[in-house]
Amino acid sequence: MSKVNNEIAVQSRKEFGKCASRRARKAGMIPAVVYSKGKEAKSIMVDADAWKVLAGHHVQMVTLVDGAAKSSALVKEVQFNHLKNYVQHIDFQEVDVNADLTAMVPVHAHGDCIGVNHGGILEFELHEIEVICHPDHLPESIPAEVSSLDIGDQLHVKDLVMPEGVRTDLDPEAVVAHVVRPKEEAEAPAAEEAATEPEAIKEKKADAEAK
């Protein structure tokens, strides 16, 4: 479970634009925005080294510390520059620690899938799901037990075991993952049918010549 004690120091952002953002990143800071319900969004800067430590633990809830002021926030979006391998921008959503929140949580496969052992392919239809819980109960991921899934089997939302204090309003019958046959194997019957067509044509031609 994520806890609202992952503190990270931030400071107000006073300069804007590409040049200002570039200077901030060179100084070891990441431009960010904190969105709050009913309040104006606040532009801040986050220490890049401190963020790297938190990101390594895949945290979703953080405590933003700006001097003596502290606020709990959900990490909404992290924008990367994949070519140069650095974080360009972070979006935070301030949350009320006394009320339930709604957040997207990744779904991770657990177990050795029997269908994969039989030559199938495990495919996820939902890589993350929306959950509702108290901030203190927000999980880093939702486990999807796939051990018993054979080729043709499906795992539904209702099959997921939610951590204590966590729920979802998604359709219980929604498919989370399923095991399918390899594409080449699925196309084999069609190929075999096509291979028999020339024989049928030959037979028709032979009949026509006989007549």
What CATH number has the domain bearing residue 30? 2.40.240.10
Domains held by the chain: number: 2
Query: pLDDT per residue over 54-97, tens digit each?
Result: 776 677 888 888 888 888 888 888 888 777 777 888 898 998 88
Q: Is residue 64 part of a domain?
A: yes
Q: Which SS3 state, helix, strand or coil, does residue 203 take? A: helix
Give the integer Cα–Cα distance in Å for 45 and 143: 34
Share the mean pLDDT of the chain.
Answer: 82
User: Domain span at residue 22?
Assistant: 7-99
* Residue 11 shares a structural domain with residue 95: yes
* Residue 172 shares a structural domain with residue 131: yes
* Residue 37 shares a structural domain with residue 57: yes
Q: Is residue 172 part of a domain?
A: yes
Q: What is the largest CA-CA distance in the chain?
A: 100
Query: pLDDT per residue over 32-48, tens digit each?
Result: 899 888 788 888 888 88
Give the integer Cα–Cα distance in Å for 74 and 9: 15
* Residue 124 shares a structural domain with residue 146: yes
Q: Is residue 200 part of a domain?
A: no
Query: pLDDT per residue over 115-131, tens digit each?
Result: 999 999 999 999 999 99
CA-to-CA separations, 98 to 7, 32, 65, in angstroms, rounded: 18, 24, 19
Model pLDDT, residue 187:
59
